[in-house]
Structure 1
Amino acid sequence: MALETDQEELMGLLARVAQQDRAAFQALYRQMAGRMFGVCQKLAAQPELAEEALQDAFVRIWHHASEYHRERGTPLNWMLTIARYRTLDLIRARKVRQTAGDDQLENVADDSFSPLEASMQADGAAALQGCLEELSDTQRDSILLSYYRGLTHEELSVTLSTPIGTVKSWIRRGLQALKRCLER
């Protein structure tokens, strides 16, 4: 019962935030910042990156609160998903920046896509994104951290404070579910 009340309160706050109500946004921040920071910190494993991701997530919520719809799940899950994706985006961006300074890139071939290849890649990316959203949070996070951040199973086990066998199972089952989803 209390959980439903919390969800109704969050929906009310989001509706007010969608109307640019700063007091509602402050209340939403006070209520959600701790949980969202926990998700960011768990994924990033770096306080400064987690703080940046949290800030980006709240900016996104401020600008896109009107896009929340009950069909997308609970307000709590919607906001936690935003925090999770902003963290993963920042991790990927930081990883790209770290390798961007390579001075061995003098003779790089042009690997740009033709319009057809770009369209096919975009369709595939959209399909993959849809399939990723069907996974459980633990499966999705494990796969994304493994493939985008390059964490090993051992590193994932430490990062997620979970036994290595469980992490391997999440990844294996998640990849199987992705394969089934993409084959549809």
Structure 2
Amino acid sequence: MVEDSTQDELMALLGGVARQDRKAFQRLYEQVSGRMFGLCQRLAGQHELAEEALQDAFIRIWHHASEYHSDRGSPMSWMMTIARYRTLDLIRARKVRQTAGDDALSTLADERGGPLEASLQRDGSAALTGCLDELSPVQRDSILLSYYRGFTHDELSTALSTPVGTVKSWIRRGLQVLKRCLER
């Protein structure tokens, strides 16, 4: 867990970034980029895609630092959420590009968003984001990988080096937590 002094330092750096302070941005990058890259790498499974997601996440942080407020959670959680969603967006975009040249008769792409994307686009997107933050990292990643990358339980088991039964439990319990949280 990040100590309070580190939280305060990250909040101060984000304040500097909100004022377009390049040195604050550089220090922020040096402090958190490794952890954020690790998340991007774990979700993407590809070094190049993770690098692109990390870069995009920091561009968003640069442009939206003024929108951060402590009621949105810790600064690290806020930045990790940006990295997570940017990675998942890039994964989905790549998936669409990969299938674009396929034979249209054999693979008709479903242009509708997935259930999680539809939920995020509704009025309760802030509530869902907050509820996702209540999940453990493995629950959240398992649910997001299954919805955004379309991983099966077996694929998740392999990707996370975890038994299938454990992956199923993470997803089931995570979805229960999300349901209870969203019903509040």
Structure 1 gap ranges (5+): 113-120
Residue 131 (structure 1) aligned with residue 128 (structure 2): yes
User: Could you tell me how far 1:149 is from its partner in structure 2?
Assistant: 0.4
Per mean C-alpha deviation after superposition, the further-off stretch among 25-34 and 128-137 is 128-137
Identity of aligned residues (%): 69
Equivalent position of 1:63 in the other structure: 63
The one-letter code sitting in structure 2 at the alignment partner of 1:138 is V
The one-letter code sitting in structure 2 at the alignment partner of 1:127 is G
Q: Distance in 2 between matches of 1:123 and 1:146?
A: 16
Q: Distance in 2 between matches of 1:2 and 1:102?
A: 46
User: Could you tell me how far 1:156 is from its partner in structure 2?
Assistant: 1.6
Q: Secondary structure at the match of 2:3?
A: helix
Equivalent position of 1:101 in the other structure: 101
Aligned length: 172
Q: Distance in 1 between matches of 2:138 and 2:66?
A: 27
User: Could you tell me how far 1:56 is from its partner in structure 2?
Assistant: 0.3
Tell me which of the two structures has the higher relative contact order, counting C-alpha pairs closer than 8 angstroms and 6 or more residues apart: 1
User: Could you tell me how far 1:98 is from its partner in structure 2?
Assistant: 1.3
User: Could you tell me how far 1:178 is from its partner in structure 2?
Assistant: 3.5
- Larger gyration radius, structure 1 or structure 2: 1
> Aligned pair in 2 of structure 1 residues 78, 97: CA closer, same or farther (>3 Å)?
same
Mapped contact 1:132–1:140 kept (Cα < 8 A) = no
> Aligned pair in 2 of structure 1 residues 123, 139: CA closer, same or farther (>3 Å)?
closer
Equivalent position of 2:82 in the other structure: 82
Q: Distance in 1 between matches of 2:123 and 2:143?
A: 17
The one-letter code sitting in structure 2 at the alignment partner of 1:131 is L
Q: TM-score, normalised by structure 2?
A: 0.81
Q: TM-score, normalised by structure 1?
A: 0.81
Q: Which runs of 4+ in 1 moved over 4 A?
A: 121-124, 180-184
User: Could you tell me how far 1:49 is from its partner in structure 2?
Assistant: 0.4
Mapped contact 2:131–2:182 kept (Cα < 8 A) = no
Structure 2 gap ranges (5+): 113-117
User: Could you tell me how far 1:176 is from its partner in structure 2?
Assistant: 2.5
Mapped contact 1:92–1:149 kept (Cα < 8 A) = yes
Mapped contact 1:128–1:182 kept (Cα < 8 A) = no
User: Could you tell me how far 1:175 is from its partner in structure 2?
Assistant: 2.2
> Aligned pair in 2 of structure 1 residues 10, 180: CA closer, same or farther (>3 Å)?
closer
> Aligned pair in 2 of structure 1 residues 129, 168: CA closer, same or farther (>3 Å)?
farther
Equivalent position of 2:140 in the other structure: 140
